[in-house]
Amino acid sequence: MKRVLFVASECVPFIKTGGLADVIGALPKMMNRNEYDIRVFLPFYTCIPQELRDEAEFVTHFYMNFTGRDEYVGIKQMLYEGIPFYFIDNEYYFSGMTPYTNIYDDVWKFSFFCKAVLYSLPKVEFKPDIIHCHDWQTSLMPVYIKIDLASYMFYQKMKTVLTIHNLEFKGCCRMEVLRTILGYSDTLINNGNFELDGGGSMLKAGIVYADYISTVSETYAKEIQTHYYGENLAQLLISRSDSLRGIINGVDYGIYDPVHDKFIKERYDIETVKENKVKNKEELQRRFGVEVNQDKFVVGFISRLTEQKGIDLIQQVMNEICMEDIQFFVLGTGERRYEDKFRQFASQYPKNVVANICYSEELAHMMYAGCDALLMPSRFEPCGLCQLMSFRYGTIPIVRETGGLKDTVIDYNKNEQEGNGFSFAQYNSYDMLYAIRHAKIIFTAYKDLWLQMMKRGMALDYSWSASTRKYEKLYDEILES
């Protein structure tokens, strides 16, 4: 039996702020249980829903030296969907209304978490062959194993893989803070493995000391080795390229399934999509007071409202989009400037723009089922999940060719009648507008071709099953190295 430990800062259903939580919630339970003993460690946040906190059973506690102080470490556990979950309990670090507060506090919090997990392993009598760390919050674990615990027999031969879900978030702090947290000598701390942009970076340290590195699409793995996408870590990632892998995320098809979706008006599959998807479109139009007309081209935008997501491109050509008589539905929250701009567009173009400045699981599902197309003009996109969900619902993605979007969306070629979406390469608003116009032409004038494209997307398999096999192959490669 191969033993693999997942360590992360969030996981559904316990705590979620983004796609990382979906990955940790889905991937472990998809692994082959006959071949892998998979367990998960999380912080025991006070903001975890109380009913789930109540299910966690106390295992033991101990005190651990952290930055010169003896700190309490409690261990709790539960079995959830067949997977053993362990939680590190310390109210000083993990209290509050949200899992993350500010980067200064979070650097201390997750440094403590990394060390506490490692020191908890003998207490729970689990010795993993591989520790799978996720993002900067867990990236000090390879450092602790290679430096602090190298002489302890229990930790020898443990391998680590660090998955970068988004290189933009690097766990940066002042170098003095990282020096205090780690307690290393000046010779060790000043060797170049910890310093970035004039300070310290937990993620950089993890990239240096992890045995393997992965990220969430093949194209993103290549992109982060370039100056434009590399966040000043490109040269380091190039030096680790032999140990760097890109594996696309999956989608939980138990949740995103138009055959059984409780949030949509009319359920459908690949055989009934032509007749029934349009009923969801009309329900979406009716609910938000725009013209109910199945011939209108309806484009959705479901996203965090941040610079990364290409919102500036949309703003630059929103007038032109509305002149095309397109209905444009927005769902998301984020930076105030973007929220206000979409509210302004909805006020200026009430017949064309619907701005839902919130996040609603119900509305997201209604939009996946009711929109004709989904727009994702991202500046960069490590993986992207919305395009995979839109495929599932027969909604055609319109994307910029970057990261996981490039890996999953094939630009439509009318002559060859190939492709599952529409794409544009340059980060340019008029290239995006051209792709939207191209999509509208096919939707309006070539209904049969559009239906074929919908069905091609629905036939794709981006469930976690395919991605899980790739992770299992990576684990085998790590253990054989």
Pairwise CA distance, residues 472 & 416, whole Å: 36
Quick one: how far is CA 480 from the chain centroid?
Answer: 28
- Give the side-chain half-sphere CA count within 13 A for 229: 20
Tell me the three state secondary structure of residue 324: coil
2-250+465-480 and 273-462 in the same fold: yes
For residues 119 and 64, is the Cβ–Cβ distance under 8 A?
yes
- The pLDDT value given to residue 273: 98
- The pLDDT value given to residue 93: 97
- The pLDDT value given to residue 17: 86
Pairwise CA distance, residues 335 & 345, whole Å: 16
Question: b/e for 188-209, b at 16 or more Cβ within 10 A?
Answer: ebeeebbbbeeebbbbbbbbbb
What lies within 8 Å, CB to CB, of 34 at 6+ separation is none
- The pLDDT value given to residue 265: 96
What lies within 8 Å, CB to CB, of 109 at 6+ separation is 43, 93, 94, 101
Q: Amino acid identity, residue 238? A: I
Pairwise CA distance, residues 46 & 95, whole Å: 5
Distances in Å between the Cα of 43 and the Cα atoms of 122, 171, 361 are 18, 17, 25
Quick one: how far is CA 312 from the chain centroid?
Answer: 22
Does domain 273-462 correspond to CATH entry 3.40.50.2000?
A: yes
Residue 87 corresponds to which tokens in the numbers above? 């939680």
One pLDDT digit (tens) per residue for the chain, 481 residues = 999 999 999 999 999 988 899 899 999 999 999 999 999 999 999 999 999 999 999 999 999 999 999 999 999 999 999 999 999 999 999 998 999 999 889 999 999 999 999 999 999 999 999 999 999 999 999 999 999 999 999 999 999 999 999 999 999 999 999 999 999 998 889 899 999 999 999 999 999 999 999 999 999 999 999 999 999 999 999 999 999 999 999 998 988 999 999 999 999 999 999 999 999 999 999 999 999 999 999 999 999 999 999 999 999 999 999 999 999 999 999 999 999 999 999 999 999 999 999 989 899 999 999 999 999 999 999 999 999 999 999 999 999 999 999 999 999 998 888 999 999 999 999 999 999 999 999 999 999 999 999 999 999 999 999 899 999 999 999 999 8
Pairwise CA distance, residues 135 & 100, whole Å: 14
CB atoms within 10 A of CB 418: 12
What lies within 8 Å, CB to CB, of 290 at 6+ separation is 296, 327, 351, 352, 354
Residue 134 corresponds to which tokens in the numbers above? 């996720």
For residues 453 and 396, is the Cβ–Cβ distance under 8 A?
yes
- The pLDDT value given to residue 90: 98
| CATH, domain 2-250+465-480, list 3.40.50.2000, 3.90.800.10, 3.50.50.60, 3.30.450.40 | 3.40.50.2000
For residues 42 and 8, is the Cβ–Cβ distance under 8 A?
yes
CB atoms within 10 A of CB 253: 18
Pairwise CA distance, residues 426 & 286, whole Å: 36
Pairwise CA distance, residues 243 & 161, whole Å: 9
Find tokens 């340019």 and name the residue.
428
Query: What residue spans define the domains of the chain?
Result: 2-250+465-480, 273-462
- The pLDDT value given to residue 271: 97
Question: b/e for 361-379, b at 16 or more Cβ within 10 A?
Answer: eebbbbbbbbbbbbbbbbb
Pairwise CA distance, residues 245 & 49, whole Å: 35
Q: Which helix (H) or strand (E) holds 410?
A: none
Tell me the three state secondary structure of residue 22: helix
State the Cα angle at 480 between 474 and 481, rounded to 5°. Answer: 90
- The pLDDT value given to residue 7: 98
Find tokens 């979906």 and name the residue.
22
Q: Amino acid identity, residue 117? A: V
